[in-house]
C-alpha cells in the first residue's frame, strides 16, 4: 500500500468513526464519471489524493471545520471566484469554506497539491493568499493528528495569531 492509499484509509477510518459516534450522515462517494465531468468543467485534473477523497470517502461533508465542499459546489465556487473581483488564480480549487469569506484551496497545478488559504478580509488581493501547507497530504495529516492550526486541540483553548507565508505566485496565475 503506497502513501496515498494509506492516507485515504486513515481519513476513511476517521470519518467512519465520526459517523458512528455522532450519528451523522455522510454523502456517498462519487463515481469516476462525476469526477471526470468536474475536471472537464474546470479544465484541469484533480490531484490524485483529492480525487481519491471524493471517490473513496465521500462527496464532502468530512474534514476540518464544516468539512470538504461537495465537488459540484467546489466547481461552482471556483467558477464564481474566477469571475469575481479578487483575481482568482487558475487551477486553484476551493475545497473547504472556513467562513467569513475564507476558503481552503488546493493548487491543482502544483506537484504536491499545495494547500492555500484565501482570506479576503485584509481587503487587498495581494494580501488575500497564504500558503497553508506544502501539500494536501500534509494538510490531511495535520487534521488527522490534531496539529494543524485549524484544530481545536492544537490551540489548547487559546487564541492564536496565524502567521502563514504569503503566496505571491498567484499574480502569475490570474
Yes or no: say if 151 and 143 are a contact pair by the CB < 8 Å rule. yes
pLDDT of residue 78: 97
End-to-end CA distance of the chain: 38
pLDDT category of residue 155 using cuts at 50, 70 and 90: very low
Q: Which residue has the higher pLDDT, 124 or 148?
A: 148
94 exposure class (CB count in 10 Å sphere: 0-12, 13-18, 19+): buried
pLDDT, tens only, 82-135: 998 778 999 999 999 999 999 999 999 999 999 999 999 877 777 899 999 999
16 φ, ψ (degrees, to nearest 5) = -60, -40
pLDDT digits (tens, 9 = 90+) for 45-88: 999 999 999 999 999 999 988 899 999 999 999 999 999 877 89
| Percent over 70 (pLDDT), the chain | 94
Instruction: Give CA–CA dist 129/143, Å, rounded.
Output: 21
d(CA 93, CA 84): 14
Return the pLDDT at 156. 46
Task: Report whether 60 contacts 27 (CB < 8 A).
Answer: yes
Q: What are the residues whose beta carbons fall under 8 Å from the beta carbon of 138, sequence distance 6 or more?
A: 115
Report the run of H or E that residue 102 belongs to, with start and end.
Answer: strand 102-107
CATH class held by domain 3-147+163-172: alpha beta
- DSSP codes joined into one string, 89-105: PTTEEEEEEEETTEEEE
Amino acid at each position: 500500500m503506497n502513501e496515498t492509499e494509506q492516507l485515504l484509509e486513515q481519513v476513511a477510518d476517521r470519518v467512519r468513526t465520526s459517523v458512528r459516534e455522532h450519528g451523522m450522515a455522510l454523502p456517498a462517494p462519487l463515481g469516476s464519471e462525476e469526477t471526470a465531468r468536474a475536471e472537464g468543467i474546470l479544465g484541469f485534473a484533480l490531484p490524485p489524493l483529492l480525487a481519491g477523497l471524493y471517490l473513496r470517502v465521500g462527496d464532502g461533508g468530512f474534514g476540518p471545520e464544516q468539512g470538504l465542499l461537495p465537488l459540484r459546489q467546489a466547481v461552482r465556487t471556483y467558477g464564481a471566484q474566477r469571475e469575481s473581483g479578487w483575481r482568482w488564480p487558475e487551477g486553484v480549487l476551493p475545497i473547504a469554506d472556513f467562513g467569513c469569506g475564507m476558503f481552503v484551496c488546493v493548487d491543482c497545478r502544483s506537484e504536491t497539491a499545495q494547500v492555500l488559504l484565501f482570506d479576503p478580509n485584509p481587503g487587498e488581493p495581494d494580501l488575500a493568499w497564504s500558503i497553508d501547507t506544502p501539500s494536501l497530504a500534509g494538510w490531511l495529516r495535520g487534521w488527522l493528528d490534531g496539529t494543524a492550526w485549524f484544530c481545536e486541540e492544537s490551540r489548547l483553548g487559546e487564541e492564536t495569531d496565524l502567521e502563514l507565508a504569503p503566496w505571491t505566485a498567484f499574480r502569475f496565475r490570474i
